[in-house]
Amino acid sequence: MPHPLTRLPAPGLTLHALLTRLPEATPSPGDADPLVTGVTLDSRSVQPGDLYAALPGFNAHGADYAAQAVRQGAVAVLTDPSGRDRLGDEVTDAVPVVVVDAPRGALGGLAAEVYGRAGEALTMLGITGTNGKTTTAYLVESALRALGRRTGLIGTVETRVGDDRLDSERTTPEATDLHALLALMRERGVDACVMEVSSHALELHRVDGVVYDVALFTNLSQDHLDFHPDMEAYFRAKASLFTPERSHAGVVCVDDAWGARLAADATVPVTTLATGVVTRPDGDVGGDGGGPDHDADWVVLPSPEEESRPGAFVLHRPATGERMHLVSHLAGTFNVANTALAALALASCGVGLDDAAAAMAVPPDVPGRMQLVAAADEHTPGSPRCIVDFAHTPDAVDAALEALRPSTPGRLVVVLGAGGDRDRGKRPAMGAAAARRADVVVVTDDNPRSEAPESIREALLAGARATVDEQRASGAPVAQLVDGGARSAAIAQAVELATTAARTSGLASTVAVLGKGHEKGQQVGAVTHPFDDRDAVLAALLAAAGESARAGRTS
C-alpha cells in the first residue's frame, strides 16, 4: 500500500540526526545532510524528501529501482551491502547511501523517528491469533466509537482514519506505511488505533517502532505453514508481540494450549480469559473438567437472560466477584470469545466495566464475518438462510458450521475452497471439518493463484472422503460431497440444493459460503477478477426465487 489516503509530510529529521538512531549504519562519504520527511520502500510512491529503502525481495532487489526513486525526489537511500553493489553512479553521485546488514530490521525504528513517533500519541491496540483477529478488531473499534473516541482501524478488510476508509492490501502494512498512517491519524485527531497484527508482520518487522498499549491473542491453529517452518515457529512469531519491546500489557484467551503457554511465557502483564471450552493439544475438546480455564482471570458464564437476549453471557472475575453482562451479536461460541476479549481490551485501557459493557452492546458491522445475505423478498418458499464467512482454516470451518448447525432444522450446505500458493497441509483437514458438520459439502475454487484449481479441490475432497468413510463405518449420517467447480456455479448449486431440500422436507436450510468473506476479487494466475461471495449468493437467491415463481405459475 503506497502512502495511504493522503500523506502529510512529516516535520522530519536530518539524515545525520536520523543515523544517530542507527549506530551500525555505514553512510557514504560526504557532508550531505538532507532533511528526511518521509520513508518508503516502494520506488513508485517516492515523494520529494523521502528516504528510499532499497531492500532485497523475493524476485528483485529494491536497489535496481533506486535511480527511479532519486529522480522522483528521494534524498537518501538505505540498503544492504548487496544493494550498494548494484547502485549506479546516477544514485551514488546524487544522494547519500546508508548501508546496514539488515535494512528491513532498521526500517520500523527509522520510520517511527521520521514521523515523530506518532503512535505514542494514540492508544494502540494490537490483535494477533489465527482466527478472530478481524472480528475482534471491529468489536473493539465499534465500542471505542460508542465511548466517544475518534478511532483508526488497520486490518484485513480496510484501513480507517476517522471516517475515511481505504481497502487494505494486506493485514498489516509495511512499517513505512504504518508509521505514515499513524502520523496521518494523529494529524486528523484520531486518539485510538485498533490493528490486526499478523505473524508475517511480526516476522518481517512491519510493526517495529510501535509499542501497543494492549496486545490481544485470540487462538492458534494450523495456518501459514507455507511461510513458517512449523507450528512452533508460528507460535513464537505471535508470542513476540507479548514482550516489552512490542507491548505494555496483554489479554490472552487460554481456551487452547497455545494460549495457556503464551500466558505463562509472556514478559508483559497479561490478563487471561477462558470461555469454558478448552482445546487440548490432541484436538479433543474438554469442558470444565480441568485445564487452563480454571486459572483464568476472567471466565465466561451462562446468562439468565440468554433465552430473551440471544448471545447474552456473563464475564466473571472469580478473584474479585466482578461481572460484566455482555451480548455477542454474532453467532457461535468463538464470537463469545471475541466479544469477551474486546471487552477486556477496553478494561485494560482504563474503561470502567459498566461503560465497557454498555459500549459492547452497540451492534458492530463486521464485513464478511458470519454475514447474512438475503434477497429483498425473504418470503420465497424454501429460500435458505445464506451466510458468508471468512473461515479458511480447519478450526474456523469447524467453528462456523458448529455455530450454524443448531439453528438449521433442515440441510446445512457448505461451499468451501482453499487458497492456492498457501499452506497446502491444511486442505484435507478443512475438507474433513466440513464433512463432519455439514449435510452437503460443495467444494469449489477460492483464490487458486498459480495452482491448478482441480488439484486444490481434490485435496479438500480427499479429507472430506476420509471423514465420510469414517461416518459410514460408524453408521452415522454421511455428508454428500460435490465437486462444484468454479465458485459462482458452486454457490448457485448450493443454493439450489438447499432450496430443493427445504421444499421437499418443509425444514429450513442454511447455506454457508466460507473462505473469502469480505474479499471483492478472485485471483486466478496473476490476474485478480472482480468477485464477491455476497453478490454471487444474492444472484443465486434471486435466480432460485425466479424459478420458484415460474414453477408456481405453471403448477
Please write the tens of the pLDDT for every residue from 362-410: 998 888 888 999 886 555 678 999 999 999 999 889 989 998 998 899 9
What confidence score (pLDDT) does residue 146 get?
97
What confidence score (pLDDT) does residue 227 get?
77
Q: Where in the chain is the domain with CATH 3.40.1190.10?
A: 120-360
Over 80: is that where the pLDDT of 277 sits?
no
Name the superfamily (CATH) of residues 371-554: Mur ligase, C-terminal domain (3.90.190.20)
- Residues 6 or more apart in contact with residue 383 via CB below 8 angstroms: 375, 499, 502, 541, 544, 545, 548
What confidence score (pLDDT) does residue 84 get?
95
Compute the average pLDDT of residues 350-369.
93
Query: Is there a contact between 408 and 510 (Cβ–Cβ < 8 Å)?
Result: yes
**In this predicted model, what pLDDT tens digit does every residue of 70-122 receive, in sequence order?**
999 999 999 999 999 999 999 999 999 999 999 999 999 999 999 999 999 99
Compute the average pLDDT of residues 517-537.
95
Which residue is listed with cell 525526489? 73
Name the superfamily (CATH) of residues 13-113: MurE/MurF, N-terminal domain (3.40.1390.10)
Over 70: is that where the pLDDT of 9 sits?
no
Query: Is there a contact between 161 and 6 (Cβ–Cβ < 8 Å)?
Result: no
Over 70: is that where the pLDDT of 304 sits?
yes
Over 60: is that where the pLDDT of 59 sits?
yes
Q: Where in the chain is the domain with CATH 3.90.190.20?
A: 371-554
Residue 457 marked ligand-binding: no
**In this predicted model, what pLDDT tens digit does every residue of 323-351 receive, in sequence order?**
999 999 988 888 999 999 999 999 999 99
Residue 515 marked ligand-binding: yes
Residue 447 marked ligand-binding: yes
Over 50: is that where the pLDDT of 284 sits?
no
Query: Is there a contact between 53 and 83 (Cβ–Cβ < 8 Å)?
Result: no
Q: Where in the chain is the domain with CATH 3.40.1390.10?
A: 13-113
Q: What angle do CA 242, 248, 252 make, to 5 degrees?
A: 45
What confidence score (pLDDT) does residue 376 get?
64
Compute the average pLDDT of residues 511-529.
95
Residue 218 marked ligand-binding: no
Residue 349, classed as helix, strand or coil, is coil
Taking domain 120-360, whether its CATH number is 3.40.1190.10 is answered by: yes
Residue 13, classed as helix, strand or coil, is strand
What confidence score (pLDDT) does residue 379 get?
57
- CA distances from residue 20 to 24, 41, 76, 233, 369 in whole angstroms, order as listed: 9, 21, 15, 33, 46
Query: Is there a contact between 300 and 333 (Cβ–Cβ < 8 Å)?
Result: no
Residue 507 marked ligand-binding: no
Q: Could you say which DSSP state residue 61 is in?
A: B
Over 60: is that where the pLDDT of 290 sits?
no
Residue 446 marked ligand-binding: yes
Distance in angstroms (rounded) separating the CA atoms of residues 173 and 114: 17
Distance in angstroms (rounded) separating the CA atoms of residues 367 and 396: 16
Residue 156 marked ligand-binding: no
Residue 372 marked ligand-binding: no
Residue 133 marked ligand-binding: yes
Over 90: is that where the pLDDT of 305 sits?
no
Residue 109 marked ligand-binding: no
Instruction: Report the mean per-residue pLDDT for the chain.
Output: 90
Residue 104 marked ligand-binding: no
Residue 172 marked ligand-binding: yes
What confidence score (pLDDT) does residue 27 get?
67
Distance in angstroms (rounded) separating the CA atoms of residues 157 and 167: 6
Residue 259 marked ligand-binding: no
Residue 422 marked ligand-binding: yes
Residue 533 marked ligand-binding: no
